[in-house]
Structure 1
Amino acid sequence: MSYPDTYYKRTLAEDKVRPVLTGTAECDAVIIGGGLAGLTTALQLTRAGHAVVVLEAESIGFGASGRNGGFVSPGFAIGSDQIARVAGAEAARKIHLLSIEGVDFVRDTIRDLAIKEARPQPGLMSVLRYDDGESLKAHVEHMALAYGYELEYLGREQVRSVLKSERYFQGLRDPSAFHMHPLNYLRGVAAEIERSGGRIYERSAATASALAGAEKIVRTAEGQVRARHVVFTTGGYTGSLNSRLKRAFLPIATYVMLSEEAPDLIREAIATTDAIGDNRRAGDYYRLVDSGKRLLWGGRITTRAASPAALARELRREMTGTYPQLSGLRTELAWSGLMSYARHLMPQIGEMQPGVWHCTAFGGHGLNTTAIGGKLVAEGILGESDRYRLLQPFGLVWAGGLAGLAVAQLTYWKLQAQDWWRERAA
């Protein structure tokens, strides 16, 4: 399976071809999956002197980690109140602090490893599509008091001065959040893992495993790995290798499109370098790339992979409905990717059995949360902390199989209808 044609592939700084695993490799930990969670786990373990092997079925960053919107901002796909109802108020506070830590971790990694090709750009705006400034002001106050985290409230005039759309009302700006080129970031992390002695094998899908003993064995088509720890970080591309993991998530497809080069036209609509996201479930998210020459626009979810071209037409309708002045902006490229969603809509991080770890279900949570998940697993393996247990209330519950997919799609349509009515009332 070839890497899809995406903006990130076209602007990839380094396209190193890594070897296929042959023969037997021995290590302290084998990581299955070369996305952000897996590479972060491997990075932290190699930094601590552990021998690590990463097995990637395709190429580094092949899945959602390498073809997403590139947003790095704190928070989760569900609100803190929902998290508190399941985990308790104090745990919910600590969980949110983890997401803030994840933003700092990614930023610090870019700086420490000098991954200039990640092109970090500060600032993220979250905008309302209905009039409710008071709720945003209350949120700003809460974040400052509870976490010491500063957000900037933007009134309607401020929002519309930079986003030239009648669709938007108030907004929040997070100056500490940022957006970046995720695939170049992953390649930079992979290079550091190898520099530190870690081994990464591409086109080396794990096909079988023996996990009961103290020594774990993971087999590929041409080789095998023997290790004390196994970490599953396969996300939306999890196959049948681990049935417990596969039944605990839903593969959800999301879609992104890239515009032609048209900086003057784009500037008529969007006069900010901040990344933008609206407040709808599976709403629009977008940002300028190539120094403002192009617009990268994402959104929509489906429970079955659909044609990127067909979904691009829907994304385009959203874009021109929001910004009629961009009706002449042509779409140059569109792609999709699979994310993993748990039924409880939270990440799934933990130890399934002694020496067997999982770090998955990051759909909708952002790059920072995926990264901090990998860091927590590494801390658990190293015996440095048991912070991964904060996510224990959000376990590997059955996601419902085909019925779960149907319910997820119906729920999405219901939420879309609720969004439509709420915006119409505004």
Structure 2
Amino acid sequence: MAKQTTYAGDGEYVDSYYAYSANPAPERPPLKEEVHAQVCVVGAGYSGLSAAITLAEKGYQVRLLEGAKVGWGASGRNGGQIVNGLNAGLQSFRKRYGEDTAKFVASVVQEGGEIIRDRVKRYEIACDLKDDNVFAALNSRHMQELEERVAVWESYGLHHQELLSREQMQEYVRSDLYVGGVVDRSGGHMHPLNLALGEAAALESLGGVIHEHTPAVRIDDSGPKPVVITPDGKVTCDTLVLCGNAYLGSVVPTLSWRVMPVSTQIMATKPLGDALAHSLIPSDACVEDVRYVLDYYRLSADKRLLFGGGTVYGGSDPSDIKAKLMSNMLKVFPQLKDVPIDFAWSGNFALSFTRVPQLGRLGDNTYFAQGYSGHGVVGSHLFGRILGEAIDGDRSRFDVFAKMPWVPFPGGRLFRVPYSTVGSWWYALRDKLGI
């Protein structure tokens, strides 16, 4: 029978550099029967894999359903940057939810990166993991924001970040565009799809079962146990974990309208060679600027420049990704004008209006996590662990996030895209004017 997906075409990976350089992985057959699972997880991205591994390490029997292939969505297409924190800053948590909540968030903002490093080491995952990420300032206002960020983080006992002058920035990234920046020693970068594939193998080594090309068509929660209906089978489970994020679609309408899919784009140059690559980013750190619509980039293991940026609210792909990104790349590195681009791709993340990830329950036995708003690499690993803790009986950390109120987009589904687009234009104009 042909592979069936509801959102992913034939379910194969997009034509990205990550798919081109992915480690070998086994075929994981779709579900074609009715089964029972102690825990069923929907979505084999970082959230689902992190929750599943957390539970499997505790002895739970876990079955993971993926509508396409492991890491098919944002987890296998992102910039590969380990950027500590959640999209909403510690200042925002303090202002909205109070000092106690801000202290709690500060205690976990680096945990996602720690989880990644621990699992890479424990399960011997080959994903080109490297240290350091750099935040780059284009003007004095950006630099002031970074100074405030470092001061706030240090006030909560987080001392891994160091301010960089214009001259010091040259040691990390050789571009005349920046007036200074910050290096986070606890940040880093890696091959995101290979991380997901390695985590899938880790889950299977713990007894977990993964079914690819098995989309959740419908969730039936009318009985005492949740049931996931798939095209050729179903899973009845004691506990259900929903981790579809931007690709959950209309399967669970109560969740899908809480977030908005937003696409971001990345391209990869041809291999630059050691000398040229070193002349661009001598530190081999990953870099992102601090504009509202930002650029982010790093070197791959084979010395390509991976350059990303741009947003399309609503999640559609731009007609020409290279054209969308090229002018920004050349502002940073004009010497790359004639360097060919080998790959260009797009992918969606789920944006929440408050930029705070959403964690919670639907009824007694169904848990969910979504809305990382562009900071999903670390956030998803953290929230997956917290989901696993809650299912195992410790809801202390889960409850802090679950009690944070979510806010709908102004204008609802019909106007959330134009509203966000206008807001994006306004903030982009402020960045351009340096105000």
State if a TM-score over 0.5 links the two structures. Answer: yes
Match of 2:417 among 376, 384, 405: 405
Whether the aligned pair in 2 keeps the contact of 1:33 and 1:232 (CA below 8 Å) is yes
Indicate the SS of the match to 1:9. helix
- Report what 2:25 is aligned to: 15
Whether the aligned pair in 2 keeps the contact of 1:58 and 1:205 (CA below 8 Å) is yes
1:290 aligns with 2:294: no
Indicate the SS of the match to 1:203. coil
- Report what 1:39 is aligned to: 49
- Report what 1:193 is aligned to: 203
Match of 2:118 among 108, 112, 126: 108
- Distance in 2 between residues matched to 1:161 and 1:354, nearest whole Å: 53
1:265 is displaced (CA, Å) by 3.4
Whether the aligned pair in 2 keeps the contact of 1:154 and 1:172 (CA below 8 Å) is yes
Whether the aligned pair in 2 keeps the contact of 1:308 and 1:335 (CA below 8 Å) is no
Match of 2:387 among 364, 377, 382: 377
Deviations 1:88-120 (A, max 9, x none): 1111221132221111111111111111x2111
Whether the aligned pair in 2 keeps the contact of 1:258 and 1:333 (CA below 8 Å) is yes
Indicate the SS of the match to 2:329. helix
Which structure 2 segments of 5+ residues have no match? Answer: 1-8
1:160 is displaced (CA, Å) by 2.8
- Report what 1:299 is aligned to: 309
- Report what 1:268 is aligned to: 279
1:166 is displaced (CA, Å) by 2.1
1:266 is displaced (CA, Å) by 3.6
Deviations 1:258-279 (A, max 9, x none): 0011223343333220000101
Deviates more, 1:390-399 or 1:258-267: 390-399
1:333 is displaced (CA, Å) by 0.8
Aligned partner letter, 2:140: D
Aligned partner letter, 1:79: G
1:316 is displaced (CA, Å) by 0.9
Aligned partner letter, 2:206: S
- Report what 1:213 is aligned to: 223
- Distance in 2 between residues matched to 1:135 and 1:69, nearest whole Å: 23
- Distance in 1 between residues matched to 2:348 and 2:124, nearest whole Å: 29
- Report what 1:330 is aligned to: 340
- Distance in 2 between residues matched to 1:401 and 1:218, nearest whole Å: 26
Match of 2:263 among 253, 257, 271: 253
- Distance in 2 between residues matched to 1:209 and 1:352, nearest whole Å: 11
- Distance in 1 between residues matched to 2:371 and 2:96, nearest whole Å: 17
1:140 is displaced (CA, Å) by 3.1
Aligned partner letter, 1:120: L
Indicate the SS of the match to 1:200. strand
- Report what 1:243 is aligned to: 253
- Distance in 2 between residues matched to 1:32 and 1:404, nearest whole Å: 26
Please give the TM-score of this superposition, normalised by the length of structure 2: 0.92
1:396 is displaced (CA, Å) by 4.9
Deviations 1:203-249 (A, max 9, x none): 11111221133211111111010111111100111121111011111
Aligned partner letter, 1:198: G
1:183 is displaced (CA, Å) by 1.0
1:386 aligns with 2:396: yes
Match of 2:131 among 97, 122, 127: 122
1:70 is displaced (CA, Å) by 0.7
- Report what 1:54 is aligned to: 64
Check 1:190–1:395 CA distance in 2 against 1; reply closer, same or farther (3 A cut). farther
The aligned length equals 421
1:307 is displaced (CA, Å) by 4.5
Indicate the SS of the match to 1:118. coil
1:344 is displaced (CA, Å) by 1.3
Indicate the SS of the match to 2:109. helix
Match of 2:430 among 389, 405, 418: 418
Check 1:307–1:353 CA distance in 2 against 1; reply closer, same or farther (3 A cut). closer
Deviates more, 1:64-73 or 1:124-133: 124-133
- Distance in 1 between residues matched to 2:416 and 2:345, nearest whole Å: 25
Check 1:92–1:141 CA distance in 2 against 1; reply closer, same or farther (3 A cut). closer
- Report what 1:93 is aligned to: 103
Which structure 1 segments of 5+ residues have no match? Answer: none
- Distance in 2 between residues matched to 1:35 and 1:196, nearest whole Å: 17
Indicate the SS of the match to 2:91. helix
Whether the aligned pair in 2 keeps the contact of 1:95 and 1:390 (CA below 8 Å) is no
- Distance in 2 between residues matched to 1:168 and 1:355, nearest whole Å: 50
Q: CA RMSD in A?
A: 1.7
- Distance in 2 between residues matched to 1:339 and 1:138, nearest whole Å: 27
1:344 aligns with 2:368: no
Check 1:188–1:30 CA distance in 2 against 1; reply closer, same or farther (3 A cut). same
Aligned partner letter, 1:335: W
Aligned partner letter, 2:80: G
